[in-house]
Structure 1
């Protein structure tokens, strides 16, 4: 039987995202001289396509659909990401120093969103055939050494290095790399890898991220902006330590995070009312995308956003519950990985807009404006729903 609570929770989140794509885009509509319902109609169309695809995929037999649909997502999106830098400006316009979207008339496509779902499937399919059986065959007394585990996982490390190069260098999108890296790490653990691999991978990831940051002036400035916010917070909370914090001078203060915190504070517990937010009027230029949680908090308050976040956590819970009840190892790893993709994307966005970590430009699953992430996640949830029919009651 299809996991109806998961389907209803995902649909509810899509509807909430549609509502706020209209409420939070008031200033953006004026800025770009767009029609009043421009963002609402586009998000509504993407949401309806996503819901229909989710339901249609959920009704299919997973044993017949998962493999071919997973590989189609993986291969097609990977080829598109490789091709984007070489496409003409009319099709792939450069925005912010990088090409991430393919535009075909009124439709804009971000291949990386579909790649994330395909990547999770690929790891689930490959780990179930190569990694998990080998770990399961070993007794507790004959576990792999760190060297043996590294050799076992070396092909995946090489593949991920290529992915990092494509996404972080060609598309200038380090945030997506962080989400995929964290998902890969936890899926290795789900497949039976040891804590030693966990620690080694974290160290390797930190070094790789540091290398990407120090080789990019844009990322250095973003890191400086985060440190500027952090030193101000330390000075306010612990004035006696303020003199010991290394100072950094910025050409421009990181106003986005500052206004994000103002929006959260202004909303208080119950918000100022749907559509009545003030900080969205030019102070948060990406309020309907990257800063959607801040805009929502101002309008529906901490209580309202907490309810929405709990709904998102419920989606993750249902995915993990399906993972724990299916007998097929591909399904188990896929549902676990999809839950990690959603969870890490939300976590990185929430920590970024609150100034805890540097901003990464990651969309909030289902809630941020953007048709690609809604349709891609809907396909991903649809596959999980089809797998739920094989779960033990």
Structure 2
């Protein structure tokens, strides 16, 4: 055991770990700063209400990180583990369909009330899709059947669309887009031939067209007033700045007020009731207002480092499963960051996607921590692989 811990410590990816830790701690400070007024005025609680809950989330996330880091990633390739992961995923998604609720006025019935806490099952789908796709394609790669569409592609695509359909029914379109992007990224990193990959993209594209046709026939139910309002607010938020464009406009005001230096930590004006729930999806606007360009740079550089580091790990390893897991985690964090920042800055419509490691929220933070633990485990394997280790995943 002692020699194992020494070997583990020797191959541990400390820069990646400390970047993750820095982002979590920075996010904790900003959650407190952003949420204190909202907690008092809207919930009638203490100023540190969300701060304390986020500490609990971080503690659970730390356990998830340790589990992900210490369990060899190759265990996720075992059939019983694959079946268990898929069972949990579909059980949670079906539970949301029958018993889910929509917090506030989000419009998406994507949460489960556990009594002591709320759970967002679609966050589990992200990491499970990464592990499941990586395991399936790694097995087919090892058997030389990766480019056989009937044997290697159809089963995971069926699983992907089944999960996507249940998420679509919630509907949680932001998470749905991220999951599709993750799946495509993992497949692209599998070593599949470009011609076969093109066929897969064609199949996915055809399915998307069919889905759009289906949406057309139920457009009156799908394009609700709120969704149309968000779309219109994307094109011109100032036309309806008191209603659908309200959050976007106040986000712009926060960013503009911060400038380069910021107003100072805790000095945000927009969090004084102007920006709804600033500790969640729009926390970067508060960071920009209080800490200016410097604060935003800390977040984006930290997230950028994790994404780039994951891609480097993916490129360095010879193990197909390690390569796909690292690429999948990189795409998950990178694309989720893009959707959050893009919605905040008006590049894309708002989707309600949290900023990784920074926004308030338990399910997202815990699952991201688990993903970071798994990435650390893969990174340690790559280091041992480069030194001529035994390749057992640690």
Establish whether TM, by shorter chain, passes 0.5: yes
8 Å CA contact 2:34–2:271 kept in 1: the answer is yes
Instruction: Tell me the SS of whatever aligns to 2:19.
Output: helix
Q: Which region of structure 1 is more displaced relative to structure 2, 110-119 or 97-106?
A: 97-106
1:125 CA displacement: 0.6
**Equivalent position of 1:159 in the other structure:** 159
Give the aligned partner of residue 364 of structure 2.
373
Question: Which position in structure 2 is the counterpart of 1:382?
Answer: 373
Between the aligned partners of 1:151 and 1:340, the Cα distance in structure 2 is 25
State whether residues 149 and 193 of structure 1, in contact with CA within 8 Å, keep that contact through their aligned partners in structure 2. Answer: no
Aligned to 2:173: 174
Deviates more, 1:44-53 or 1:356-365: 44-53
Deviations 1:38-67 (A, max 9, x none): 100110111122124313432344445775
- Counterpart contact for 2:125–2:179, Cα < 8 Å: no
Query: 2: distance between equivalents of 1:66 and 1:14?
Result: 30
Q: For 2:231, which of 220, 226, 230 is the aligned residue?
A: 226
Distance 1:150 1:211 in 2: 26
How far apart are 1:74 and its partner, in Å? 4.2
Q: In the alignment, what sits opposite 2:198?
A: 196
Equivalent position of 2:278 in the other structure: 287
In the alignment, the residues of structure 1 paired with residue 245 and residue 97 of structure 2 have an alpha-carbon distance, to the nearest angstrom, of 29
Q: Is the 8 A contact 1:189 1:198 kept in 2?
A: no
Instruction: Evaluate the alpha carbon distance shift between residue 115 and residue 14 of structure 1 in structure 2; reply closer, same or farther with a 3 A threshold.
Output: same
Q: Alignment length, in residue pairs?
A: 364
Residues 44 and 5 of structure 1: CA distance in aligned 2, closer, same or farther (over 3 Å): same
Between the aligned partners of 2:300 and 2:181, the Cα distance in structure 1 is 20
* TM superposition shift of 1:374: 0.9
Cα displacement (A) at 1:210: 7.7
TM-score (norm. length: structure 1): 0.82
Matched residue SS, 1:300: helix
1:34 aligns with 2:34: no
Change (3 A) 1:197 1:23: farther
Residue of structure 2 equivalent to 1:141: none
C-alpha contact 1:226 1:355 (8 A) present in aligned 2: no
Q: Alignment partner for residue 363 of structure 1, among 354, 365, 386?
A: 354
Give the one of 37, 53, 56 matched to 1:45.
Answer: 56
Between stretches 194-203 and 372-381, larger displacement belongs to 194-203
217-226 or 124-133: bigger deviation: 217-226
Distance change in 2, residues 1:251/1:298 (3 Å): closer
**How many Å apart are 1:150 and its aligned residue?**
8.3
d(CA) in 1 for partners of 2:296, 2:241: 32
SS of match in other structure, 1:35: coil
Aligned partner of 1:112 in structure 2 is 122
TM-score by length of 2: 0.82
Farther off after superposition, 149-158 or 313-322: 149-158
1:201 to partner: Cα distance: 6.0
* Aligned ranges 1:55-204 → 2 under 5 Å: 55-64=66-75, 67=78, 72-87=84-99, 92-95=100-103, 96=105, 97-130=107-140, 134=144, 153-169=153-169, 171-191=170-190, 192-194=192-194, 196-197=198-199, 200=202, 203-204=205-206
Q: Secondary structure at the match of 1:280?
A: coil
In structure 2, the residue corresponding to 1:277 is in which secondary structure? coil
Q: 1:183 to 1:132 in 2, by over 3 A?
A: farther
Distance 1:106 1:340, change over 3 A: same
For the residue of structure 1 that corresponds to 2:381, the secondary structure is coil
Q: Which moved more, 1:37-46 or 1:279-288?
A: 279-288
The separation in 2 between residues aligned to 1:63 and 1:186, in whole angstroms, is 19
Matched, 1:330 2:321: yes
CA-based RMSD of the aligned residues comes to 3.0
Q: 1 CA distance for matches of 2:142 and 2:257?
A: 49
In 1, are the aligned partners of 2:68 and 2:371 still within 8 Å (CA)? no
Q: Is the 8 A contact 1:93 1:102 kept in 2?
A: yes
Shift in Å at residue 328 of structure 1?
Answer: 2.2
